[in-house]
Chains A and B, each alone.
Chain A
């Protein structure tokens, strides 16, 4: 079965500092996508970053970057220069490349607190 695990229910970071959120996944597929979604108090699901498994280069989006370790099935999110607006719940998600369901498999979520 394909699963995604986020082992940190809550994290906190001081404003302007760096924090890393962990995610591991289990799959027998070799081609897939991985995502990090942000859910602020408004509840809207916002795509933060996407990684294609066939790409060895780690994805980056401004202050957000990932450390993708395919062999270890690990996909962590690093937030640099944390801002108060980064406070949210973050979800890691997986989908196989060859899927006919359109399904994203989500982790349990990590609530990030940013301290001023």
Chain B
């Protein structure tokens, strides 16, 4: 089954404690993105990757890091989480080029930073 998986689904942590949210896709997609969803703001892109070892900032990258060492995996790293990073996070993947542009989303990770 074609899918994007994220772990964990829920995470409660304290300010400053480094954490990683994993993302994996099994569709051989080139593009992968991380979004955060906040009330009244919709989803905003944090980082994206066009392929292995190619990543770049999205609209709200401050406080986040990513890596793309394998095509299927795109982890999101919060090295020193702060309460303003409390949010719902989605990983997404899509084919490159000018195809349908459909993005496949993971199930989401609810992060709370206290």
Seen from chain A, the residues whose Cβ lies within 8 Å of a Cβ on chain B are: 4, 6, 9, 33, 35, 42-45, 47, 50, 91, 93, 95, 97-104, 106-109
Would you call B58 and A33 a contact (CB within 8 A)? no
- Chain A residues with CB under 8 Å of B108's CB are 43-45
**Which label, helix, strand, loop or mixed, suits the secondary structure of the A interface?**
loop
Cβ of B98 and Cβ of A106 under 8 Å apart?
no
A-B contact count (CB 8 A): 65
Give 23 A-B contacts (CB < 8 Å), ordered by A residue: A9-B40, A33-B100, A43-B110, A45-B92, A47-B102, A50-B102, A95-B101, A97-B98, A98-B98, A101-B56, A102-B31, A102-B92, A102-B94, A102-B96, A102-B103, A103-B33, A103-B48, A103-B58, A103-B59, A104-B92, A104-B103, A106-B43, A107-B42
Q: How large is the interface on B (under 10, 10 to 19, 20 to 34, 35 or more residues)?
A: 20 to 34
In the docked arrangement, what's the CA distance between A98 and B44, Å?
A: 19
Determine whether the beta carbon of B107 is less than 8 Å from that of A106. Answer: no
Q: How far is the CB of A21 from chain B (nearest CB, A)?
A: 14
